[in-house]
Amino acid sequence: MGENGDSGHKKPWKYIEKQKLRDTLTPMQFHVTQEKGTERQFSGQYLKFDKNGTYRCIVCSNELFDSEAKFDKQGCGWPSFCRARDAGITTAPEWSHGLMRTEVKCAKCSAHIGHLFDDGPKKLGGLRYCVNSVALNFESNNDGAAEKEDSMHECMK
């Protein structure tokens, strides 16, 4: 038994109490990740962001996307990626706004990240992960933007 009378085992991420998340996340981060909300188009901090590193889940820090997979989808208004990290995300069908879409969720904590569309770069499978900046946290590789310039838009090559 743990010191609080419990079994001593930590709960999986999906069982974190909503109030704890409300206390940890900003109101917009909570709305997007826990209530399947969406940030305003063209408002996200990572839309035009071009540093070299890893995008992580804002809730649990799970690795979701590499910067090399990020590309600019003209007119989209949200960060776009052509592929996710292995075991970083899961997808699920979602009926919303009168459409059947594919929801993108963190594989570790099930936080809503965004949606998956089939209008990405064709030569890499045609997928586009359209994500909310507020659902992400960026971890720099400390290599600077110069190296990213060489590998940037790998999805578009």
Q: Which residues are catalytic?
A: 130
Helix (H, G, I), strand (E, B) or coil at 105: strand
Q: Tell me how far the alpha carbon of residue 105 is from its chain's centroid.
A: 7
Q: Which two tokens stand for residue 43?
A: 């408002």
DSSP 132: -
Say if residues 115 and 133 touch (Cβ distance below 8 Å). Answer: no
DSSP code string of 8-53? SPPPPGGGS-HHHHHHHS-HHHHHHHHH---PPTT--TTSS---SE
